[in-house]
Amino acid sequence: MTDYTYPSVYFAYFFFFIVFSGAAFFFFKTYKQGYFGKDSEEAKHRMLDDEMGGDYGRKQK
Amino acid sequence: MQKEELIQNVGETPVAPAAKRSDSIHDDTTAKIFIASSVSYFVIVGLVALIIAAKFSMPSFLGSVQYLTYGRMRPLHVNGMLFGWLLAADMGLMFYVVPRLCGVKLWSEKLGIATGILWNAIILGAVVSLVMGWNQGLEYAELPTLLDVGVVVAWIMFGANIFGTIATRKYNAMYVSLWYAMGTILWTAFVYLTGNFATLFTTGVNQANLNWMYVHNAVGLIFTPVGLAIAYYFIPRVSNNPLYSHKLSMIGFWSLAFVYVWTGAHHMLHGPISQWLQTITIVFSVMLLIPVWAAVYNFISTMRGQWHQLRENVSLKFLMSGVVFYLLTCFQGPMHSLRAVNAIVSKTDWIPGHAHMAVLGAFSFFAIAGTYHVVPLIFKTKLYSEALANWSFWLFLIGGLGFFVTLWLGGFWQGWQWNNPAIPFIDTVVALKPVWHVRLGSGFLMFGGIITFAYNILATILGPKGEEMEANVAVA
């Protein structure tokens, strides 16, 4: 079997690079979008409404 | 009622009154296919697990039948549990959870059904190929290349559907489970390609290193994020109590994203890999405690003032036991990566004890909890038997604890013996016999848990529905 160790290891390095840079990019994006701000807790209340779909629970309130 | 008031009282009173089941906008056919088939595979692969455990106690058991030898049964058990049961159940639950968190229907139910059919074809193909001995010989990557390609295609279909649903969501801010769902799809794509294709073109220590990166990340970047997506959805949902802190959950998500990918090489410590790589993997393995503690603290704090619900609620029992197992297994992982501990436990029975606590004790418990919660909802019926569900919990818990604890202790014992050159290897094998007998006994209990769980779910699915069920209740 031909040994493709170097291309494969470089692929793994590329994989690490993609994962790290993707994580860094989206982390800063979420930071800018306010996921770590004072209004970041809204989603946890809204998710309790969603069992039956849409805003059914909110309409009941 | 003002919104702020509602938020303050949300832990004490239900946020939304129970909706009529017929009000759902969701079709859920795809979720039904994945959940029903995954539960069926759980039974079959559980039986295979029992056969393997029996072979440890009775090495000649079924040894003369080539299709039932250890070398064929073990990959069948591993792949069956990982892809036939757990990942399929997780995908089914994602098909349920994601549309609800987005407030819209699944992007394409037809594509979902096609994914379910393809996934089942892959699992059946895996059973045939592994029993026949067609095996690539790499841990967790045993499936033949044709089936690997099938997995990639099915995953693209799954990812397109989930991302398509998220892209059409009603709300801008996404709940943490959606972040974990998206992370799972992207990380799995890279992890699976590396583990199943890149490893085929390498040799020697590089191949082993890539393979262990895949094995560890199969748990860390596939089952961990999707398992946490499920836990983050169902713990608040089932307890009807909001998550303690969404901000903390996001910190946990991003710290997992930055840390987890570097940890796989801790399985290669003391091996022929460079020291710098060993040190890096140790550092990142210890840093794993950050995302783990962020998640566990959040889950436990969410249950503050709600622990009494554990008495009545089987799904919560599974969820919170899963959280404890998640904490324990993620404490074991970093400790295993320390050179001194690794020198004792590496390659011993401690490893399957640790792996089973992650995959069964934590992530399968989350999936079982989700299944118990959603099956009555999506099939518009009631759970067949609460008592049976309780039985399944205790059988899983006692059997699991017996299995995990025995293998941790047995693994240490085995490692200490291996580190003593005066002890012949065969003596270390004979010495482990009592451990393997307990492992078999625990296996029977866990299989009892699987049977009661699967019977309960399948009886719920096949039992009376909707108006028929209401008519039966009225007559009674």
Residue B366: the pLDDT is 98
Task: Report which of A4, A58, A54 is spatially closest to residue B26, judged by C-alpha positions.
Answer: A54
Chosen for mutation from B7, B197, B202 (greatest number of chain A CBs closer than 10 Å) is: B202
Chain A residues near residue B1 by CB distance under 8 angstroms: 61
Please name the residues between 192 and 231 in chain B that touch chain A, using a CB distance below 8 Å: 194, 198-199, 201-204, 206-207, 210, 213
Chain B residue whose CA is closest to A6: B202
Q: What ipTM was predicted for this assembly?
A: 0.80
B19 in any annotated domain: no
Residue B316 belongs to what H/E stretch?
helix B314-337
Query: Which structural domain, as residue segments, surrounds residue B318?
Result: 27-470
- The enclosing domain of B31 has a CATH number of 1.20.210.10
B9 in any annotated domain: no
Please name the residues between 4 and 33 in chain A that touch chain B, using a CB distance below 8 Å: 4-5, 7-9, 11-12, 15-16, 18-20, 22-24, 27, 30, 33
B167 in any annotated domain: yes
Q: From the list A7, A19, A41, which residue is nearest B190 (CB)? A: A19
Q: Do B173 and A7 touch (CB under 8 A)?
A: no
B11 in any annotated domain: no
B221 in any annotated domain: yes
B380 close to A (CB below 8 A): no
User: What is the number of residues in chain B?
Assistant: 476
DSSP B19: P
B113 in any annotated domain: yes
Tokens of B470: 């209401």
Q: pLDDT tens track of chain B, all 476 residues?
A: 344 443 443 333 333 344 444 467 899 999 999 999 999 999 999 999 999 999 999 999 998 899 999 999 999 999 999 999 999 999 999 999 999 999 999 999 999 999 999 999 999 999 999 999 998 889 889 999 999 999 999 999 999 999 999 999 988 889 999 999 999 999 999 889 888 988 888 888 888 888 888 899 888 889 999 999 999 999 999 999 999 999 999 999 999 988 887 788 888 898 888 888 889 889 999 999 999 999 999 999 999 999 999 998 999 999 999 999 999 999 999 999 999 999 999 999 999 999 999 999 999 999 999 999 999 999 999 999 999 999 999 999 999 999 999 999 999 999 999 999 999 999 999 999 999 999 999 999 999 999 999 999 999 999 877 666 666 555 54
Instruction: Quote the number of domains for chain B.
Output: 1
Tokens of B411: 């693994």
B270 in any annotated domain: yes
Low-confidence ranges of chain A (pLDDT < 70): 1-3, 5, 8, 50-61
Alpha carbon of residue B234 to chain centroid: 15
Tokens of A12: 């793994």
Q: What angle in degrees, to the nearest 10, is found between the helix axes of B386-418 and B365-378?
A: 160
CA dihedral over B167, B171, B174, B177, signed as positive or negative? negative
Q: What angle in degrees, to the nearest 10, is found between the helix axes of B87-102 and B365-378?
A: 60
**Are the C-beta atoms of residues B378 and B417 closer than 8 Å to each other?**
no
B337 in any annotated domain: yes
Which residue in the block uniquely carries the two structure tokens 């095996």? Answer: B135
Q: What is the pTM of this model?
A: 0.91
B278: left (phi over 0), alpha (psi -120 to 50) or beta: alpha
Cα B365 from Cα B382, distance rounded (Å): 21
Chain B residue whose CA is closest to A1: B201
Counting one residue from chain A and one from chain B, the pairs whose CB atoms sit within 8 A come to 144
Please name the residues between 42 and 61 in chain A that touch chain B, using a CB distance below 8 Å: 42-58, 60-61
Cα B24 from Cα A54, distance rounded (Å): 9
